[in-house]
């Protein structure tokens, strides 16, 4: 028996272990001080009432033989009420999808890793640096070659394609975790054109699309040509607070082919072998989140987080600190003051203000010198953290 030795090439997350240890030590040393965690990437507000009601109705249906549901009849597609709700949401942004192009899942992370099964391990993968670590790690596990697209202060953490780079699979995360930066139409069009020229496929992670305001694309399919080169992966986690419920969806255009083979056909084959669907109760809750009342209620929750993000961004702006995010995203990505590296500044902010962020280095080498703050704490805690950070920034 041999193990998959690719796992040995994964970077152990020393940094996050160190962060956890420092938080634990802060709590032990200062039991009287209140720690505010602006490091948490999980939602905190409860599910919308319309979602809860839909799930309660679905529970009752499961208790009645006349309405009981077993396996989802078309495991990969989801119940019609949900795929129609997703279709309608895309249509509101001018994107026409057919029901067969939408694949319901238990969340974006599962699909981001599962989709790789349909691609050869000989492909070269292009991953932005810094970014959500799952993209690189899932490909390292499969032994694929990875090249990185440098995101940095110079390009506003929105890298554009470099024609010299030969990539077959391209990851784009917009709005981005951890930087909060979001592409406009021109930036996305540059990536779509690059992918089309190279016959590559874009894996577009739209997990934070609901945070966008103003005229930015919510979906890669708002960009001309994307149907010929893109797969979009999205989630109810941050849109509707489903991190603990688990529901997402992947969109694969039915005309998208490589080597004359339909990619959605491969995905259906993969899913029907390795996946058995998402619970009826969950799907009914997700459909309600995209209904009229549910969408209004979830938008109120997102507006709450966005007010937190705006407060943090305003504080940084007032103190002359460079940052990205904070507007189309729950993340604020700040440059560490005084030339500190990300772990030094994390430690200084923890000790000096009792506020925890996440050192940027944990998201890639280009994250060095930056700290990620999140908007998911309560409004009261965020306001308190801003006051403390304001005092702290004046002292250093
Ligand atoms: N994509 C990005 C960029 C994320 O930040 C996250 C979660 O933090 C996910 C995907 C995972 O989403 P899900 O909860 O749907 O698995």
Let me know if 273 is exposed, middle or buried by CB neighbors in 10 A (0-12, 13-18, 19+): exposed
190, 229 Cβ separation under 8 angstroms: no
Integer Cα distance of 61 and 281 in angstroms:
9
Torsion, Cα of 204, 124, 258, 137 (10° steps)? -50
Q: Which domain holds residue 354?
A: 7-37+294-395
Q: From residue 273, how far is each of 5, 95, 256 by CA, in Å?
A: 25, 30, 21
One domain for residues 58 and 129: yes
Q: How far is the CA of 250 from the centre of ligand 1 (A)?
A: 13
Pairing mode of beta strands 261-262, 257-258: antiparallel
Q: Is 285 in the same domain as 332?
A: no
Bridge partners for 88 per DSSP = none
Q: Do 280 and 316 belong together in one domain?
A: no
Cis, peptide link before residue 184, omega less than 30° from 0: no
**CB of 325 sitting under 6 A from ligand 1:** no
Is the pLDDT at 75 greater than 80, yes or no? no
Helix (H) or strand (E) holding 59: helix 49-62
Whether ligand 1 lies within 6 angstroms of the CB of 107 is answered as: yes
Is residue 381 assigned to a domain? yes
Task: Find the 32 Cα to ligand 1 centroid distance in Å.
Answer: 34
* Model pLDDT for residues 284-312, shown as the tens digit of each residue: 999 999 999 999 999 999 999 999 999 99
**Mean pLDDT of the 62-75 span:** 90
What does DSSP assign to residue 34?
A: P
- Phi/psi at 234 (5° precision): -140, 175
Q: Is the pLDDT of residue 32 over 70?
A: yes
Q: What is the mean pLDDT of the chain?
A: 96
Q: Looking at the domain assignment, is residue 143 inside a domain?
A: yes
Q: Are residues 274 and 345 in the same domain?
A: no
Same domain, 182 and 304: no
Boundary residue ending a domain (249, 273, 292)? 292
Q: Is the pTM of this model over 0.85?
A: yes
- Per-residue confidence (pLDDT) for residue 73, from 0 to 100: 76
Residue 243 CA, ligand 1 centroid: distance in Å: 9
Q: Is 381 in the pocket of ligand 1 (CB under 6 A)?
A: no
- Looking at residue 240, its pLDDT comes to 98
12 vs 392: which has the higher pLDDT:
392
- DSSP annotation of 210 reads G
Q: What is the pLDDT of residue 308?
A: 98
Phi, psi angle pair for 233, to nearest 5°:
-120, 125
Q: Indicate if 93 and 173 belong to the same structural domain.
A: yes
Task: Please tell me whether residues 248 and 181 are part of one structural domain.
Answer: yes
Query: Which has the minimum average pLDDT: 36-45, 68-77, 152-161?
Result: 68-77
Q: Write the pLDDT tens digit of every residue in 156-213.
A: 999 999 999 999 999 999 999 999 999 999 999 999 999 999 999 999 999 999 999 9
Residue 11 C-alpha from the chain's centroid: 21
Does residue 236 line the site of ligand 1, with CB under 6 A? no
Q: ω into residue 175 within 30 of 0, thus cis?
A: yes
Q: Rounded to an integer, what distance in angstroms lies between the CA atom of residue 234 and that of residue 47? A: 18
Domain count, the chain: 2
Asked which of 2-11, 73-82, 91-100, 360-369 is least confident by mean pLDDT, the reply is 73-82
The CA distance from 38 to 380, in Å, is 12
Q: Are residues 30 and 61 in the same domain?
A: no
**Model confidence at 76, in pLDDT bands (50, 70, 90)?**
low
Probe target for ligand 1 pocket from 207, 246, 305, with the most ligand atoms within 8 Å of CB: 207
């Amino acid at each position: 028996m041999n193990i998959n030795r690719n796992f040995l090439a994964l970077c152990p997350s020393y940094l996050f272990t160190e962060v956890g240890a420092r938080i634990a030590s802060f709590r032990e040393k200062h039991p009287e001080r209140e720690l505010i965690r602006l490091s948490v990437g999980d939602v905190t507000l409860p599910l919308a009432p319309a979602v809860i009601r839909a799930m309660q109705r679905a529970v009752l249906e499961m208790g009645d033989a006349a309405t009981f549901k077993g396996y989802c009849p078309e495991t990969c597609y989801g119940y019609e009420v949900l795929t129609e709700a997703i279709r309608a949401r895309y249509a509101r942004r001018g994107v026409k999808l057919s029901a067969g192009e939408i694949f319901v899942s238990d969340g974006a992370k599962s699909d981001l890793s599962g989709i790789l099964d349909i691609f050869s391990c000989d492909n070269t993968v292009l991953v932005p640096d810094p970014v959500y670590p799952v993209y690189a790690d899932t490909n390292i596990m499969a032994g694929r070659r990875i090249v990185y697209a440098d995101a940095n202060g110079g390009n506003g953490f929105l890298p554009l394609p470099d024609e010299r780079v030969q990539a077959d699979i391209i990851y784009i995360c917009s709005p981005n975790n951890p930087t909060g930066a979001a592409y406009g139409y021109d930036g996305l069009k540059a990536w779509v054109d690059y992918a089309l020229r190279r016959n590559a496929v874009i894996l577009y992670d739209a997990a934070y699309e609901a945070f966008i305001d103003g005229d930015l694309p919510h979906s890669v399919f708002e960009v001309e040509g994307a149907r010929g080169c893109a797969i979009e992966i999205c989630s109810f986690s941050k849109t509707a607070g489903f991190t603990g419920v688990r529901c997402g969806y992947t969109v694969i255009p039915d005309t998208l082919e490589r080597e004359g083979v339909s990619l959605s056909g491969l995905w259906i084959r993969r899913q029907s072998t390795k996946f058995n669907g998402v619970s009826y109760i969950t799907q009914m809750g997700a459909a309600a989140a995209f209904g009229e009342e549910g969408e209004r209620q979830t938008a109120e929750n997102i507006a709450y987080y966005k007010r937190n993000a705006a407060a943090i961004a305003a504080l940084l702006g007032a103190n002359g600190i460079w940052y990205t995010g904070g507007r189309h995203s729950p993340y604020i990505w700040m440059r560490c003051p005084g030339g500190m590296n990300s772990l030094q500044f994390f430690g200084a902010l923890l000790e000096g203000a009792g506020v925890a962020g996440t050192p940027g280095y944990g998201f890639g080498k280009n994250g060095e010198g930056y700290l990620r703050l999140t908007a998911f704490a309560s409004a009261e805690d965020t306001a308190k953290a801003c006051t403390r950070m304001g005092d702290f920034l004046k002292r250093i």
